[in-house]
Amino acid sequence: MNNILITGAAGFIASKVALRLLSEGESVIGVDNINDYYDKKLKHYRLSLLQQFPNFTFYRIDIEDKGLLSDVFLKHKIDNVINLAARAGVRYSIKNPHVYLTTNAHGTLNLLEMMREHDIEKMVLASSSSLYAGHKMPFTEDLPVNNPISPYAVTKKAAEVLAYSYHYLFQFDISVLRYFTVYGPAGRPDMSYFRFIKWIDDGEELILYGDGEQKRDFTYVDDIVDGTIRALRPLGYEVINLGNNHPYTMIEMIAIIEKGLGRAARIKTLPVHRADAEATWADISKAKRLLDWEPKVSLEEGLDNTIQWFKQNRDFVRKLEIDLSV
Ligand SMILES: NC(=O)c1ccc[n+]([C@@H]2O[C@H](COP(=O)([O-])OP(=O)(O)OC[C@H]3O[C@@H](n4cnc5c(N)ncnc54)[C@H](O)[C@@H]3O)[C@@H](O)[C@H]2O)c1
């Protein structure tokens, strides 16, 4: 049994990674500051699922706080770190860039330092397809991305290269995973698919930025979990895309949701944001080669699972606050 530290454990992706590892009998130490970027009720809901496992330990701490992190590393003999804690929205990073830098870059640096002090070699680090915004897709990992177009992407790049220097200097084994638009049950209410399902289900007007022809390489969370766990294997330092390799337009995604809910959307369009990518599309040949990974869940199936979760948790979802400013 391994002791795996997962940061951002109350978050969408990390909670699902933790669930999978716990059910496989691993021991998970979860860390999260439960910030209020989106409704905390969702974070507590996810945590409640993890807390049913005796092999789960949780600390509500901030990865920016090296002292508190240090206590966790002293208390547990940690084998691997999966760093998924982050400030994750593109638009909010333009309003509040400092917190992105302090969490995504400085927080990652704190974890790397803890690993150095405690002789831990392996980190899986979440990065993002947002680094490719402004580039032509599909994109391979080895092409340079040195002109990020949002503070969010800048801070993800900062974390990637900080981790590289620790690999070079101290032989850390780092798997950097660039995730592409991850969706699924109990996901993030700041993301379009979550809002679209909720708005269509509630009969509310759906707010769409741009003409809906933007493409996203929507990737189902279970596939992302699978790739993240595979990336725990020794790799040296590798940057790997985890995406679906099958982009859909927003209009196509809305049509699938309408079909699943049996209701038509009332669409109101607003101007597209400058920092939003026109299209994302992952070249996943490296993930196939290094991780023997490829996505298995189609957008139709993944959205269907997500809609089922919404229906089963309708009362809970209706109480969630959606902050349109993020
Ligand atoms: N969801 C996606 O489509 C997507 C795409 C690309 C990359 N990512 C990356 O994947 C990771 C997980 O994203 P997610 O979608 O699950 O987001 P999320 O916001 O649901 O999860 C992140 C969690 O980190 C926690 N956190 C934030 N700052 C913290 C801090 N300073 N200390 C401790 N905890 C902190 C938050 O409270 C949250 O629970 C992030 O690194 C994100 O940048 C996500």
Q: Which ligand 1 atom sits nearest the alpha carbon of residue 103? A: 31
Query: Which residue owns the Cα nearest ligand 1 atom 7?
Result: 128
Cα–Cα distance for residue pair 20/3, rounded to 1 Å: 14
Give me ligand 1 centre to Cα 190, in Å: 12
Quick one: pLDDT band at residue 214, thresholds 50, 70, 90?
Answer: very high
Q: How many angstroms is it from 188 CA to the middle of ligand 1?
A: 9
pLDDT digits (tens, 9 = 90+) for 296-319: 999 999 999 999 999 999 999 999
Q: Following DSSP, what letter does each residue of 98-125 receive, concatenated?
A: HHHIIIIIIIHHHHHHHHHHTT--EEEE
Tell me how far CA of residue 162 lies from CA of 67, 156, 166, in angstroms.
Answer: 20, 10, 7
Mean pLDDT of 153-158: 98
Axis crossing angle, helix 299-312 with helix 250-261, rounded to the nearest 10: 50
How many C-beta atoms lie closer than 10 Å to residue 207's C-beta? Answer: 14
pLDDT exceeds cutoff 90 at 134: no
Pair 115, 123: CB distance under 8 Å: yes
How much is the pLDDT for 322? 86
Beta carbons within 10 angstroms of residue 128's beta carbon: 27
Tell whether the model's pLDDT for residue 75 goes beyond 80: yes
Q: Is the CB of 15 under 6 A from ligand 1?
A: no
CA–CA dist 288, 195 (Å, integer)? 32
Kindly report the protein residue whose alpha carbon is nearest to atom 38 of ligand 1.
11
What the chain holds in terms of domains, given with CATH numbers, is 3-180+220-242 (3.40.50.720)
Expressed in angstroms and rounded, the spacing between residue 266 Cα and the centre of ligand 1 is 30
